[in-house]
Structure 1
Amino acid sequence: MAMATSLNDEVDQELLKTEINHYSNTPEEYSDEDDNKTPEETVDVDAHWLHTAGFSDIVSQLTDGQDVKDDDMENITSTLTRKQADVLRKRVNSLSATLKSKSKSSTHTDVRDIFPERAEETEIKDFSSFDERSVQISGTPKNSKNDLPTITDNEESNYHIKFERSNSRKGVSDLPYCEIKDEDVTLISDLSKADVLKLHSFVFMELTAIFDDHGLNITKKKTKKKFKEFGIFGTSLQTLYDRDVKKHPDLLVPLILKQMIGFLQQKGLREEGILRVPGAMARIKQHRQVIEAKFPSGNFDWDHLDAKSSDVAGLLKQFLRELPQPLLTNEYIDAFSQVEEIKGVEAQVQALMMLFILLPDVHRNSLKLILAFLKLITENEEKNRMNLHNVSTIMAPNLFSTGKSKRDSSKPQTFQLHAATKCFKVVRLLIQYEKVWGIVPGFLLNQIRPPPTNKGFNIKKFFGRKDKSPNKTTALEEERKKKNRIKVTMGTSVSKDIHLHTGLTAGQVVEQILKEESVLSGSNLEGLKDKFLYEKGGNINCRKLNPNCRLMQAFRDNPFADWIISSKPPVS
């Protein structure tokens, strides 16, 4: 099969202009950053990076005029990959040098000037919560690097994905075929919030390492401080979700978004020109008024709306464009667009995997839902005449809030067209590889698993986790460890000893126990698909195991965990 020409990689400028002209509102203006940063700006950048990466105490230590000792830095970086350690040292050294230089000509810098108080409750809480897991530097005992876990080169490259450059597998245009090479993968949605919070620190450092390798900086836009708390359009995803989840506890995304996607998936998936053919503006305006009036109260029925697929597609695009906090967030939307400047599809995908994990839950879940829908559209190209190229061109301006630069305010469309063109290739990647978003690379999962004990160095205390030393475990647990046995519980009445052997999976254990229970109780196995095996405690907070997870390996990774079958994450 001959490779497709590079034409497929070029954006349709006219189609893109048409989509940009559909904007009803222009996002808030912002100023481009000057490449020549003042010392104050450098302090802000480096300090904010350390704060986001979970090292607020390093900032406090440096702003207090104290250097970070070599032994302390050695202990910290020993838990990181080589690239993560390099980016950390780079920011620490930069902040230290800048503060020393600034102190010669100005008064002492107060850390409170670098991190102002949090904004009002109505502000979207992006990633300011990272300070809750800040690493404690003071009082760290001296310790050899060999006493701490190390990340091997093999682990460092374990993203669980494999690209095929040969023509034996069908790809799209110049994009290589990608497959998930491991059946047993952990998704970000499988981890508890506490584990996700800890994971963010390592993910942010990994993302920075990728950007540093390609000469890029993770830039951030100015953000609004207040968002409206009423209505549907122009209301933040978080506000909509917080309102909806009270009535629908199992909801993962705002209800309006879920229902618009559901409508289009049911009635418009095979409709020619879906997303491209515009709906009637008068009808869209009328439908929007009905939604604003009835949807919040629950007195709304899509069947009574009498809307066409093109109308709902127009409503979806308006909804995304008018989000006060973009789908990709103010914090990381520029980083998403910069991925296009990274060389190599593999590195681009790895960066996008990191960015996807860093998104807040509701933004991540909403993006996943939208991308899965867009992928379905491209898979029905024979019916709807919408390929990856067309869908990416149309959705780029809607997924990215490009804004309007003050430097180019005389040519707002020129700026928006340039930004959308740059984002076009990123959207192609997001759609084409949508199945990999949410996968937690194996080496990062291992990094949030500190070992139970360390000679002279309590790494759990170091990372702010409660100490659950294996010395406190019972003799029965020690005996199971030797015999490769675990106890699996379900509710308060079921407790089974399971002998582990090579090839035994979590799904097989769940199926076995549920079948035994169904025979005893006389019930059917309808609930089988809704139950999973959870790994709780030990060196992790809580993880839902993939049904293909090899239990022998999971046990070796965390021999002091509890193993619980449940339809929801078990609570303490």
Structure 2
Amino acid sequence: MWTSPPTTSSAPPPLPQTMTSDLHHVTMETFWREVRSIEEEIDGEEEEEEDEEMKSIDEVELEEAWLMEAGLSSLVTSSLSEEVPPPAEVLLSTLTRQQAATVRRRLDNYSETLKTRNRKPIRDVRDVFTEPNDEPAERCPAPPSPPESPLSQYHTTTKTIRRKAHRVRSTLPTFVFEDQPPEHSSSSTHTLSPTRTHSLCVSWSGQADWLLRDSPYSEGVAEHRRGGTCQDCVRFHGIDGGDVPFVPVAPSQGLVSADDLSPCDLTRLGFISHIELSTFLLALGVQTKRPRPPRRKTRDSGVFAVPLNSLLENDKKKFPEVKVPVVFQKLLCTLEQTGLQTEGILRVPGSAARLKYLRGELDRCCGEFDWSTVRQVEAAGLLKLFIRELPTPLLTHTHLSTYRSVLGVSSVVHQVQALQLLSLLLPEENRETLRALLAFLRKVVSHQDQNRMSLWNVSMVMAPNLFTYSQRGNKRSIAKQREGMEEAVGGAHLVRLMITHQDLLWTVPSFLLSQVRQMNQASNQKQFDLTKAKRRLLRRKNDRNQITELCAGVIRVQAPLHTKVSMAIQLDGQMRAKDIITRFECDHSSSVQHLYEVGGNICERRLHPDCLLLDVYRVNPGCDWLIKP
């Protein structure tokens, strides 16, 4: 949790000597100014509630919550139906060796903890994993381990963050930033072997080709934890400053965003992402511990302190397609229209009395509110106030501590990968609101020549609003001040990464989508309850049909909202989704049309316009093709 500076003095605490090196020092004044502004608005109302946040969840509750979030509720609850097979069997059949080991470890710890309390678990770990010593085979091959290379000097072993009040924590070398991207020394390229030269040249452009891997992130970091040469650290060590965005590399099947999938597929994606994130952080040596959520006031009406899902439920009565609360969109729109060129936007605080008045007016009559009377600094203050007063933080209580744990990862590439998995775990309303916020913050940074708000300044301002902090008294030791500054810089570092690499946060890696397909396929087999003989015969029949259809290369596209409701199309290696859409007349429709992959081993997926349909067909030959908005 982020700590605030002493309130007895208006000046921020002095920076440690280790963080004041000429141009590389971190300016903390922006952060502390924002913290003091927040303290003035809180005015001591939540001091009693914050003490409860320090308490950790009971170990049984923690393990039970983890298993529930991983889609393994049937292992900890007795509400099972004999007609429907437990979803745990379907999910476990798609896990890799390391992912299955993580589930086994969690379930074993849950069972042992219950036994010490003389409570019998619903299902023992030996019932789920019949042969504990025989780990399931990997569904995806692990990438080959790179040979020992001189580039191991760029790699540092991941450290676990442990908070101890009696010990002064050393400053983290990763958190030394500039407002400009670091200059890369050209001499480092001379140490490369001929086989490494091409891969590093690709890394200078920041191409995130690790999205295309068939193997999970957790399978490629074994060398990282042992302090050896990690493939990702070797390739991307030159841009560890974090200012150069990673460019997603589109596979032939097209990039998949989280909002391209159906709710059913998103649920299963969340199960796999949850297990993979825990496995990934464990492989990196990072331990996470979830605190108990604090009690916060929740309102049923108005704008502020109202849950996001309640706001969206009310907004969808007027705007059915809305994904972000209307008041939040209004605030962003007001700032984009008049505030992007305003110097110090987001940083300069507005009048506290004026903000209190505007808040009351918005709560009273949001639909009839006159936005023309709101100045830029007031809109910025209302935006930050809206984020802070959400009953559930925008990053959620469930994952907020895990976000902080990402600071224990030494490689920027692995930090971005962990943030990507975390973003896919957020509820839809939180994910879409965060996406709108990050897109706006990127626009603010793009106008830094006019508004004097660099990427680092924006990150420093937004960190105390996205990450909660607790006040620990006015008299604090030097160790507490140093810890508070490290946490401030750490929070700003996470915000900075999310702004810079936001396009990757919503992109589904290939291995996750592949595991979702495997889970759907296994679920379909369970649902039809086929015997081994029937499955063998059906597999042979499907194989013959698929070969015949693939040779014919013909698909049938359905478009029920168009004049041409159906069309048989011959596929070739160059045909893309946008080519199919242009063949249908849609003059009467003002909305953008998309081609969807429906059924087979996916519930529903909106295809990227540039994806090659023949490759999609090979992955899911049993799907239907549908054109709709």
- Report the TM-score, using the length of structure 2 for normalisation: 0.70
SS at match of 2:556: strand
Is residue 22 from structure 1 mapped to residue 41 from structure 2 by the alignment? no
State whether residues 273 and 512 of structure 2, in contact with CA within 8 Å, keep that contact through their aligned partners in structure 1.
Answer: yes
1:273 to 334, 344, 347: 344
**Partner in structure 2 of residue 45 of structure 1:** 62
Contact preservation (8 Å) 1:279, 1:314: yes
The aligned residue for residue 275 of structure 2 is 205
- Percent identity, aligned pairs only? 30
Question: By how many angstroms is 1:6 displaced?
Answer: 8.5
- 2:107 matched to which residue of 1? 92
In structure 2, relative to structure 1, the CA distance for the partners of 1:508 and 1:98 (3 Å cut) is same
Shift of 1:198: 0.9
How far apart are 1:566 and its partner, in Å? 0.5
SS in 2 for 1:22: helix
Equivalent residues of 1:43, 1:95 under 8 A apart: yes
- Is residue 387 of structure 2 the alignment partner of residue 308 of structure 1? no
Q: Per the alignment, do residues 225 and 13 of structure 1 end up closer, same or farther by CA in structure 2, a change over 3 Å counting? A: closer
Separation of aligned partners in 1, 2:524 and 2:93: 14
Other-structure match for 2:465: 398
What's the secondary structure of 1:80's corresponding residue? coil
- Within 1, Cα distance between the matches of 2:603 and 2:543? 20
Residue number in structure 1 paired with 2:598? 536
Q: 1:6 to 1:32 in 2, by over 3 A?
A: farther
Superimposed CA distance per residue, residues 65-101 of structure 1 (whole angstroms, 9 cap, x where no aligned partner):
xxxxxxx99996552123312211221232233334x
Superposed displacement of residue 107, structure 1: 3.2
Query: How much does 1:385 deviate?
Result: 1.0
| 1:131-530 equivalence runs, <5 A | 150-153=139-142, 154-157=213-216, 165=236, 173=241, 175-182=243-250, 184-212=254-282, 213-224=284-295, 227-295=298-366, 298-303=367-372, 306-404=373-471, 419-450=487-518, 459-460=523-524, 462=526, 479-491=548-560, 493-511=564-582, 513-514=583-584, 517=585, 523=587, 527=590, 530=592
How much does 1:60 deviate?
5.0
Letter in 1 for 2:618: R
561, 564, 570: which one aligns with 2:626? 564
After superposition, the Cα gap between the structure-2 partners of 1:6 and 1:76, relative to the gap in structure 1 and judged at 3 Å, is farther
**Which residue pairs with 1:81 in the alignment?**
96
User: How many Å separate the matches in 2 of 1:76 and 1:318?
Assistant: 40
Report if aligned partners of 1:274, 1:386 keep a CA contact under 8 Å in 2.
yes
Partners of 1:175 and 1:343 lie apart in 2 by 16
Q: Secondary structure in 2 aligned to 1:155?
A: coil
Give the partner amino acid of 2:140.
Answer: I
For residues 180-221 of structure 1, give each alpha carbon's deviation from its aligned partner in whole angstroms, at most 9, with x where no partner exists.
122621001000101101111100011101221223225243
| Cα distance, 1:536–1:30 mapped onto 2, change above 3 Å | farther
8 Å CA contact retained: 1:78, 1:148:
no
The structure-2 alpha-carbon separation of the partners of 1:506 and 1:50, relative to structure 1 and needing over 3 Å to count, comes to same
2:607 aligned residue (533, 545, 554): 545
1:311 and 1:433 mapped to 2: Cα distance?
28
Q: Is 1:107 paired with 2:118?
A: yes
The CA distance in 2 between the partners of 1:446 and 1:358, in whole Å, is 17
Q: 1:541 to 1:32 in 2, by over 3 A?
A: same
Distance 1:466 1:187 in 2: 32
Q: Rate the CA distance shift 1:333–1:536 in 2: closer, same or farther, 3 A.
A: same
C-alpha separation in 2, matches of 1:535 and 1:6: 55
**Paired AA for residue 511 in structure 2:** F
Secondary structure, aligned partner of 1:323? coil
The separation in 2 between residues aligned to 1:150 and 1:532, in whole angstroms, is 31
**1:57 match:** 74
Deviation of 1:551 (Å): 0.8
- Contact map agreement 2:76 2:121 (CA 8 A) in 1: no
Give CA deviations for 1:125-156 in whole Å, capped at 9, x if unaligned.
xxxxxxxxx9x9989999xx999982122412
User: Taking structure 1 as reference, are residues 353 and 174 closer, same or farther at Cα in structure 2, changes over 3 Å only?
Assistant: closer
In the alignment, the residues of structure 2 paired with residue 31 and residue 435 of structure 1 have an alpha-carbon distance, to the nearest angstrom, of 36
SS of corresponding position for 2:37: coil
Query: What is the identity, as a one-letter code, of the residue corresponding to 2:489?
Result: T
- Letter in structure 1 aligned against 2:581: V
- The alpha-carbon deviation at position 421 of structure 1 amounts to 3.3
Alpha-carbon distance in 2 for matches of 1:409, 1:110: 47
Q: What's the offset of the Cα at 1:374?
A: 0.5
Is the CA contact 2:216–2:276 (under 8 Å) kept in the aligned structure 1? no
Structure 1 gaps of 5+ residues are 65-71, 112-133, 568-572
What's the C-alpha RMSD, in Å, of the aligned pairs? 4.0
Give ranges in structure 2 of 5+ residues lacking alignment: 1-19, 81-86, 143-212, 219-231
- Describe the shift of the 1:147–1:234 C-alpha distance in structure 2 as closer, same or farther (beyond 3 A): closer
CA distance in 2, matches of 1:208, 1:483: 44
Amino acid at match of 2:524: K
Change (3 A) 1:267 1:6: farther
Quote how far apart the aligned CAs of 1:282 are: 3.2
Asked whether the equivalents of residues 355 and 378 of structure 2 are also in contact (C-alpha less than 8 Å), the reply is: yes
Q: Distance in 2 between matches of 1:76 and 1:451?
A: 6
1:283 CA displacement? 2.8
Assess, with a 3 A threshold, how the Cα gap between structure 1 residues 465 and 536 changes in structure 2: closer, same or farther: farther
The amino acid across from 2:258 in the alignment is I
> SS at the partner of 2:457?
helix
CA distance in 2, matches of 1:97, 1:264: 54
